[in-house]
Amino acid sequence: MDDYKEELRRQSEREEIRYRRELAIRRRKARTRRTIFLAALVFILIAAAAAIIIVSARRTSPGEPDAPDSPEEPEAGNNPDTIAVPDWVTVDLLPVNEYSRPGTALEQVNGVVVHYVGNPNTTAKQNRNYFANLAQTHETSASSHFLIGLDGEVIQCVPLNEWSYCSNSRNADTIAIECCHPDESGEFTKETYDSLIKLLKWLCDTYSLDREDIIRHYDVTGKICPKWYVDHPEDWEALLDDVGAPSNPDKADGADTVEDEDKDEGDRSGGFLSGLLDGLK
């Protein structure tokens, strides 16, 4: 009887040990599964956050300037023959680079193209810095000769004897002006409008341009830019009246029309987060 009891005790101990081992194994497996689950969850959250940041940056980066149709090889930087701008223009040239200031010679000026930045309530300085930062981000090709801010400040980004990357097929023979605007309508502030008229008058006098030589980005590619003056063509005519440049009927007969080959250029916008954040500094 004692032997039988001893055997039962030993068997009970062995079962207890086996149970504890199995329990320890199950606990380790459960911890491993929890660790894998948490790691996967963290990875998914990080990926989702990165996607949201990228999408947000794309939406907020200046979107209206377009890359050139056929960019030429970058040339040397500042040219001594550059036309001097009036003292009410702040000269803050972009560094020479293939993405926003290629240095390509602008051999003739046959017109001026007016744009809007497409990024409401940003300043001229912020948009200028965005153009400059393209030299590092390489996300697109974009720039303009002038930027006009919400308070009427005028910044020159590109010399007047060099291309800017703003007006597609007309990069090669026009001066580009980008205008800031406070909201989605694209309507300019009075200060922006007054500075635009002042700048257009100076350019028309400097290059002997006529009324028909002042055009919208829309007249080149069909893009809704500058939005307010595409949506309100009567205001565009009033703007031209305020500039007061002489009209040339011969040019009016052959005025610029939308070029089908440029319609699909796309709305290349900036914008990854690094470009915008550096631009906002």
CB-side neighbour CA atoms (13 Å) of 131 = 33
Report whether 145 contacts 276 (CB < 8 A): no
Separation of alpha carbons 216 and 229, rounded Å = 8
Average pLDDT over residues 108-121: 97
Task: Work out whether the CA dihedral 112, 118, 121, 124 comes out positive or negative.
Answer: negative
pLDDT of 123 over the 80 cut = yes
How big, in percent rounded to 5, are the helix, strand and coil portions of the chain? 50, 10, 40
Confidence of residue 119 (pLDDT cuts 50, 70, 90): very high
Residue 176: φ, ψ to 5°:
-105, 135
Comparison of pLDDT for 116 and 8, the residue scoring more: 116
pLDDT of 256 over the 70 cut = no
Separation of alpha carbons 40 and 47, rounded Å = 11
pLDDT digits (tens, 9 = 90+) for 135-174: 999 999 999 999 999 999 999 999 999 999 999 999 999 9
**How confident is the model at residue 6, as a pLDDT?**
72
Q: What angle do CA 248, 209, 144 make, to 5 degrees?
A: 135
Separation of alpha carbons 177 and 96, rounded Å = 19
Q: How many domains does the chain have?
A: 1
Q: Answer whether the bond into residue 226 is a cis peptide, omega within 30°.
A: yes
What b/e readout covers 20-37, taking b as 16+ CB neighbours within 10 angstroms?
eeeeeeeeeeeeeeeeee
Burial class (CB in 10 A: 0-12, 13-18, 19+), 259: middle
| 132 within domain boundaries | yes
Confidence of residue 252 (pLDDT cuts 50, 70, 90): low
Report whether 114 contacts 121 (CB < 8 A): no
Separation of alpha carbons 255 and 112, rounded Å = 13
- Domain range for 238 is 61-279
Output the average pLDDT for the chain.
83
**How confident is the model at residue 56, as a pLDDT?**
75
pLDDT digits (tens, 9 = 90+) for 51-105: 888 877 766 555 445 555 544 444 333 333 568 899 999 999 999 999 999 999 9
| 13 within domain boundaries | no
Q: How many residues does the chain have?
A: 281
Report whether 210 contacts 148 (CB < 8 A): no
**How confident is the model at residue 30, as a pLDDT?**
87
**How confident is the model at residue 253, as a pLDDT?**
52
| 212 within domain boundaries | yes
- The residue type found at 229 is Y
pLDDT digits (tens, 9 = 90+) for 173-192: 999 999 999 999 999 999 99
- The residue type found at 248 is N
pLDDT of 111 over the 60 cut = yes
98 dihedral zone (left: phi>0; alpha: psi -120 to 50; beta): alpha
| 33 within domain boundaries | no
| 215 within domain boundaries | yes
**How confident is the model at residue 1, as a pLDDT?**
67
Report whether 257 contacts 49 (CB < 8 A): no
CB-side neighbour CA atoms (13 Å) of 172 = 6
| 128 within domain boundaries | yes
DSSP state of 188: P
**What Rg, from alpha-carbon coordinates, does the chain have?**
31
The domain that holds 145 is classified in CATH as: 3.40.80.10
| 25 within domain boundaries | no
pTM of the full structure: 0.64
